[in-house]
Amino acid sequence: MALTLVSSNKCAGGFQKVFEHDSSELKCKMKFAVFIPPKAETEKCAVLYWLSGLTCTEQNFITKAGSQLPAAEHELIIVAPDTSPRGCKLEGEDESWDFGSGAGFYVDATQEPWRTNYRMYSYVTEELPRLINANFPTDPDRMSISGHSMGGHGALICALKNPGKYKARPASEGSVSAFAPICNPIQCPWGQKAFSGYLGNDRSTWEAYDATKLAAAYSGPRLDVLIDQGREDQFLSAGQLLPDNLISVCSKKIPVVFRLHEGYDHSFYFISSFMVDHVAHHAKFLKA
């Protein structure tokens, strides 16, 4: 599938690039960012996928998170897609910041008019990795996933729904991490709005995209989870994130390191403060 280069900037000894392509899953043009570390000039590298939160594009992460230097140090390619289809001309697509454009919630919609285009789950787990592996010097057996807020929800469900996918080699431990993730969307206003719109009113269908429900039923190989959360996060106090619900159901197969940070909020100032730790968390498993 043809890629169109949108931008390329030398960064941390490698290159931060943005590409556009025609997505078969989403039936529209999509952009994604990819950081290519210096090591990729001579060897295939593991890939860390990053999923951003509500209202974001591929730009927010690459300009604010500070991921390039640790990615270069740990020899990781980082791929950051957009957060939804764009320009599909669907009624209601641009009416609110927490549904439609910039708010795909990493599900495969089943309801009209969203079901044709809003298939971010399949895009992130299937189409995008195929595209990346076909066009960049990746080791397809070594990949992991991380994200923030809505993207933290996306990272968690992608890892939990696909046991053994986000790992270094067959039968090895997997890794996933998240900043301030939406951990129990069927119980919070953001998730209820998105799931009712994309998936319909049958709440039993929502559970397939809820990290807390998925973790409670998980039976795959060990999955090491790192979650960072700011104590001053306004969305934590508003009941949108619900990390305690997730932690309470995780078994020995899903060991969780949960770090609550005094004074930090929901912003990229928070993310950039601990991004080094998250890249190192994944590198530990991807390079094992």
Residues classed as catalytic: 149, 233, 266
Strands of the sheet with 45-51, listed across from one edge: 4-11, 14-23, 28-36, 76-81, 45-51, 138-148, 174-179, 223-230, 256-261
Using CA atoms, how far apart are residues 162 and 22, in angstroms rounded to an integer?
25
Placement of tokens 């890629």 in the chain: 3
* β-pairing verdict for 14-23 and 4-11: antiparallel
Q: Which two tokens stand for residue 72?
A: 């270069």
The strand pair at 256-261 and 14-23 is best described as unpaired
SS3 content of the chain, % helix, strand, coil (to 5): 35, 25, 35
Measure CA 149 to chain center.
9
Dihedral class, residue 67 (left if φ above 0, else alpha if ψ from -120 to 50, else beta): alpha
Give the strand pairing for 4-11 and 76-81: unpaired
